[in-house]
Amino acid sequence: MIKNIISGITAYFGAFTLISKLKLWKYFAIPMAISAITAIIIIGSAYGLSDNIGNFISKIWVWDWGKDTFSTISNFIGGLIILVIGLILFKHIIMALSAPFMSPVSEKIEAHFNGSSTHAHRNTSFGQQLWRGIKINGRNLTLELLITLPILLLKFIPVVNIFSTALLFLVQAYYAGFGNLDYTLERHFTYRESIQFVRKNRGLAIGNGIIFILFLLVPVIGVILVLPLSVTAASSETVKILQSKKH
């Protein structure tokens, strides 16, 4: 598991060079635009909703003593909830809508590592790739929200909230990496087979997702470059695993 996490992280080191070598930047134009537009919409919505959620949470405290302190904490929690849910929505939206554009990238990377442009895989159309992306990310979005909401409640418990932050980060990372791995897996496996593959290689998904989430914390540049680098890194490592299983 730890070894796979490290592999998922270190794969990013050669991603930029590989994109340039295979001349893949042109494939990322539309996904980059999708990322930028989605980020603007979510950030705008988060800015407007954070105070409302904070005020709603503060109403739970009906006593006068400690009300100001609880209100301050509530505003912080409200902002955190919006940030976390915003990140979750952002990554699943861009990964789902970018699926048809990322599949050719993954395929070229696979051809590069296989040393051939011809290899056996499932032939899928633009529409099928888009539906697959929506289906996978819709599933992951639902599961991630179900896991995340209870973790956010732990934020109200002192000391425990420190560990909940790390757990929240790993959950976000896992599902981000899941989506990136599937751009390669969709050519080789069915929907259910892909889920099984990621479960067996969850370390790789987490490692890839860790850098994905960290990229999103970098203003502007991170949002634009997150898909190109994360998809390239994920495709490279996924192809290596698929090759090893053939031998």
How far is it, in rounded angstroms, from Cα 99 to Cα 180? 9
Tell me: the pLDDT tens digits for 26-84?
A: 888 998 899 889 888 887 777 667 666 666 666 666 666 666 676 767 767 777 777 77
Question: What pTM was computed for the model?
Answer: 0.83
The tokens for 83 are 């940030």
Please report how the helices 202-216 and 67-97 are oriented relative to each other, as an axis angle in degrees rounded to 10.
110
Summarised one tens digit per residue, pLDDT across range 141-154 is 999 999 988 887 77
Q: Report the amino acid identity of residue 189.
A: F
pLDDT 10s digits, 82-118: 777 888 888 899 999 988 888 888 999 999 988 765 4
pLDDT classification of 199: cutoffs 50, 70, 90: very high
Alpha-carbon distances, residue 75 vs 5, 9, 103 (angstroms): 34, 34, 41
